[in-house]
Chains A and B, each alone.
Chain A
Amino acid sequence: MKLHDVVEILDAKLLIGEDRHRELEVKTAFSADLMSDVLAFAKSGSLILTGLTTPQVVRTASILDAAALIIVRGKIPSGETLQLARELDIPVLSTRYILFETSGRLYANGIVGCVEKIGGTRDGEP
């Protein structure tokens, strides 16, 4: 699906990425609050779902070439975080749902969990 569909499914606000959300294709997601986990396991091109809003989350997403960041529980990141996301070209969505609900809704719509272990590749079961 497109990032635009994710916005609809999650009834989300598209904070960064107005120029790309209709074209950007997404298939996989990774839910986490631990950035080391995101680094160790999240596959490139995945949606990163998290409750964190710090600039470090944006940098982590950039390091991994993540498709987009989805901030849960209605949090809006600071101007600094959003500015960084704009500079690094990482789309950012904010949804009012909790991480469980956000994961559940995307999974129900066909987004799959995907794990790419560093030092070897392993896809999560569909």
Chain B
Amino acid sequence: MKLRHLVERLDLGVLCGEDKLGNEVSGGYVGDLLSDVMANSSKGNIWITRQSHQNIVAVASLREHAAIILALGKKPDDDTIEKATREGIPVLATDRPGFEIAGQIYALLSNDRSFRAGTES
């Protein structure tokens, strides 16, 4: 599923990376601990977090995430947006809490054939 589809359906704010909305979303990851996200998320994930400092861009870039969503109205630091723009990582925003936005993305992705359940193993 294209990132653009999620942005439109869920009315997500696009803080940067307007030109990358064609990114393919493979699944989602919710997490606020960078080492966890680094270790356990997957390529093409849409990463839902409440962390806003610029280190999130490095994590998203290294794991080749489709986008970062800042949940529950979290505002990014200025250098986060600068860095994300440079690295080509879309940063999206929503006022909804992580649980809810994850639930809604999950529902949309579940209708997509390429999506598989996320477990630890």
Contact = CB atoms under 8 A, between A and B. Distances in A.
Interface of A: 29-34, 37, 41, 49, 51-52, 73-74, 96-101, 103-108, 111-115, 124-125
A103 B31 contact: no
Contacts of B32: 32-34, 37
Interface residues of B, number: 31
Given A31-B30, A98-B118, A99-B29, A37 B50 contact: yes
Interface of B: 27-33, 36, 40, 48, 50-51, 72, 96-107, 110, 117-121
Given A107-B102, A113-B99, A74 B31 contact: no
Contact of B107 (A41, A104, A115): A104
B89 to A, nearest CB: 18
Contact of A100 (B36, B96, B118): B118
Contact of A97 (B48, B103, B117): B117
A100 to B, nearest CB: 4
B50 A32 contact: yes
Q: Is the interface of B mostly helix, strand, loop or mixed?
A: mixed
Contacts, number: 108
B100 to A, nearest CB: 3
B118 A29 contact: no
Contacts of B105: 100, 104
B121 A100 contact: no
B104 A30 contact: no
Contact of A104 (B40, B102, B120): B102
26 contacts: A30-B97, A30-B99, A32-B50, A33-B36, A34-B50, A51-B31, A51-B33, A74-B120, A98-B30, A98-B40, A98-B119, A100-B27, A100-B28, A103-B98, A103-B99, A103-B106, A104-B103, A104-B110, A107-B106, A107-B107, A112-B100, A113-B99, A115-B72, A124-B96, A124-B97, A125-B100
